[in-house]
Structures are given as C-alpha cells and as structure tokens.
Structure 1
Amino acid sequence: MLILASTSPYRRELLQRLRLPFECARPEVDETPLAGERPAELVHRLARAKAAAVARLHPQAWVIGSDQAADLDGRILGKPGGQAAALAQLAAMGGRSVLFHTAVCLRRGERELAAADLTRVRFRELSAAEIERYVAAEQPFDCAGSFKCEGLGIALFDAIESQDPTALVGLPLIALAALLRQTGYAVP
C-alpha cells in the first residue's frame, strides 16, 4: 500500500503521473517554522514529520511526505492564504531570484528514505497591475510563493532552474521515483 501524506490536490495530481495505486491521508503536523529554522531545514523536517505521522497509523504502508518553502534572502515565504499576502509576496519577488526548497520522504515503519530539490526561479520585473491581474485570475492563495507555475504563473518568470520541474509544483517526482524503485516499486 502506498499513501500520500497530503491533502494537496497538486501533489495528488503529480503522484498520479507515476500510475501507481495510492491513497491520501491528512498528516496532523504543525507546520509552523521553528525559531531560527532555515527554509531547507524546515522542508526536510516537515516532509519527515508528515510521513512519520501517517506511517504510525499505517505501519505496513509506504508513506510519502513532502513539503516546500520559498526562500527570499533566507526568509521563508509560505502559502499566502489570501489576496493581500499574495500581492505582497509577488511584489517582493519581482525582479529577484527566489529559491524553492522541496523535500520528499518515503517511510514505512522505521525505514526512511529522503531526497530534496532546490529550484531557482528568476522573476521578471512585475508591475502592480500585472500582479493584481495575475492574483485575480488564479487566486494562488494555497501555493508557496503565490503562483502556479503549471498555469498562468509561468508568465511571471524570466527563468526556472531546476533538476526536477515537478518539484516547483510541490512533489519532486524524479527523486520520488528513484526512492520508490529502491523499495521495490516498478516505476515505470
């Protein structure tokens, strides 16, 4: 049995690409950053915690935990949750490079495998009107960094530099497929 420790529709859609049967379960994990925690540390800790929380309830299943954070000059930018925060995040990122840390953890019982991806997004200069139009069009309030790169958000960038394009959406499938193969899954 394979379980995705997430209720994210984006992660669910990504995992469906691997054509493996799986279920989803909500991990009951506090996602608040710890004092002084760097973005890379946060995503590793949360990916592991999400996988562990669900694995405790399903000890015979392989559980996938994943997390992502935007890193603007070492400051964590999470999901905006609303329009005002989304507008502010995008205004702060305009004309800048932002790092997106994405971690994935695969766990069954006490066995744990993990991987991470670092994606650099170079935002083009963005006018207030462009930001407002974008936010009104896609309402990316549940996305780290306030955009959907798989949608209209792609028009906000000059470039994306990554080892794994799916990591920016929230689940690094190249790394996950490798972890699954290590545990005996046939992917593809």
Structure 2
Amino acid sequence: MIGQFPPIILASKSPRRQELLKLMGIDFTVVLKEVDESYPSGLNPTEIAVYIAEKKAKAFDESIRNEIVITADTIVSLDGQILGKPETADHAFEMLSALSGRRHDVITGVSLLKGHKLYSFYELSEVFFKPLSAEEINYYIAACQPMDKAGAYGIQEWIGMIAVEKIIGSYSNIVGLPTHRLYRELCRITAQ
C-alpha cells in the first residue's frame, strides 16, 4: 500500500519540514528533544549534516518501540565553509552578501531510527544566486526575518523568487527535507 508506514515521529520544530511531510501524505507526530548540535572538527560539510542528524536520532534510541523517528539537519556551504543560522541582522547581511552572485551547496543530512537501527543519508543541491544589491538584501531581512534559517535565507520566500537563477538537485532538499529520497528510504526500511 502506498505510504503505509509504522507510526512516524518527526523530531523537528521546523514548520517547513512539517509542511513537506504533510504534502507527502504522511501522518506523523512531532516530538522534540534538546540536542547539542556541535560536531568534531575535521568533518566536511556532508559529514557534518549527517553527524548532527544522527546525534538528534540517537537521543530517541531508548524511548521508541515500533515507531520510525525522522531527524534532519540542513546546512549551507560556500566554498567548503559552513554558513549557519545568523545571529543578527548584520550577520544575515554578511551571509547573503557572500552568497550574492555565487554558487553554493545546500546539504541535508537525514537519519531514520527504527528498532535501534539507524539509517542515514544526505542530499546535496547546488544553488546559483544572481548578484544582489544591498537594498534587496536589506528588504529581504526586514520582510522575512531569516534568523532561523541556515545561510540566512529560505528558498520558498521572496529571495528565492528573485535571486535563485538555477538549482541543480532537489528543490525540497533546499527547503529542508529531500522528500523523494526520504520516501524511498521509508519504503525500503518499512519492507525489512
């Protein structure tokens, strides 16, 4: 049966991830646990995304029975440097100025925890921004308050409509969850 999965727990407060799962037609419950999102030095951007997603999933290892826990971490990488969530409007301006007229990677690490087994993967999408004026950047920061977003932007918002010239890879991955790959992996581990 299409989309028949065990009970799903989404361990994310991201409204974007919750909306994507709803659009996939998946019933789920949101359960949150505080997790330290630090990571060891020396990891590359894809390893960091998976490491943090796994750390979030392992926080549930003792508390689940027959559920599948979905955790994810999305990072923006510019020339191998991680652009996290901005701390201030000035910091957001710096990040968006750095992305202006450039190509960057958006990587989402995803972990699925089922019966004490962890299944992890990542998806990488390339995003190409047009050059942005200071006026455009300031408008976006004031209008959309992107402080809760890696790289200081959401592709589904105004800046995505006017600044993104091209993407290579999954659009939903850039929003925060690679839905096509997630569906395939959920089907695979449910069948095991």
Normalising by structure 1, we get a TM-score of 0.92
Q: In the TM superposition, what is the alpha-carbon distance from 1:73 to its structure 2 partner?
A: 1.0
CA RMSD across the alignment? 1.5
Q: Which residue pairs with 2:171 in the alignment?
A: 165
Please give the residue correspondences for 1:40-59 in structure 2 after superposition, counting only pairs within 5 Å: 40-59=46-65
Structure 1 residues 142 and 45, CA gap change in structure 2 (3 angstroms): same
1:83 pairs, out of 62, 85, 89, with 89
SS in 1 for 2:148: coil
Q: Which residue pairs with 1:62 in the alignment?
A: 68
**Using the alignment, how far apart are the partners of 1:24 and 1:82 within structure 2?**
28
**Using the alignment, how far apart are the partners of 1:44 and 1:87 within structure 2?**
27
Instruction: Check whether the contact 1:103–1:172 (CA below 8 A) recurs between aligned residues.
Output: no
**Using the alignment, how far apart are the partners of 1:84 and 1:77 within structure 2?**
14
**Using the alignment, how far apart are the partners of 1:82 and 1:172 within structure 2?**
28
**Using the alignment, how far apart are the partners of 1:55 and 1:99 within structure 2?**
31
Instruction: Check whether the contact 1:69–1:101 (CA below 8 A) recurs between aligned residues.
Output: yes
**Using the alignment, how far apart are the partners of 1:93 and 1:27 within structure 2?**
32
Q: Which residue pairs with 1:37 in the alignment?
A: 43
Please give the residue correspondences for 1:130-169 in structure 2 after superposition, counting only pairs within 5 Å: 130-154=136-160, 155-162=162-169, 164-169=170-175
Q: Which runs of 5+ in 1 are unaligned?
A: none
Q: Which runs of 5+ in 2 are unaligned?
A: 1-6
Instruction: Check whether the contact 1:5–1:54 (CA below 8 A) recurs between aligned residues.
Output: no
- 1:122 matched to 2:122? The reply is no
Normalising by structure 2, we get a TM-score of 0.90
Deviations along 1:82-139, one digit per CA (max 9) or x if unpaired, are: 3111111001111111111111111113222222111111111111111101111111
SS in 2 for 1:112: strand
